[in-house]
Amino acid sequence: MEKVNLLLIKELRVQKKMSQSEMAEELGFNNMWTYHRKERGEQSFTAEELNILAKFHKKKMENFFVKEVAENANKEKRAAV
């Protein structure tokens, strides 16, 4: 399963020395708290928001996703070894 790479999103913002308020404004949010909740994973980014982030940071959209393997799949691999 693919998951949004929230760590990368935060790292890119910090590298640009932007506050969460500034990033929220860039995405068109009315306040910083909406962005804050999304960056922390409490609320999901929409596809449109991820597209805006990708263009803003000059990255490909796929860079914002990481593959997440189910925990039981990792246990099965370790048991097989």
Domain ranges of the chain: 2-80
Two tokens at 15? 């590298």
| pTM as predicted | 0.79
3-class state of residue 4 by DSSP: strand
3-class state of residue 66 by DSSP: strand
Which helix (H) or strand (E) covers residue 22, if one does?
helix 20-26
Digitized pLDDT (tens) for each residue of the chain, 81 residues in all: 789 999 999 999 999 999 999 999 999 999 999 999 999 999 999 999 999 999 999 999 999 999 876 655 555 545 554
3-class state of residue 45 by DSSP: coil
CATH of domain 2-80: 1.10.260.40
User: Which is nearest to 6 in space by CA: 48, 50, 47?
Assistant: 50
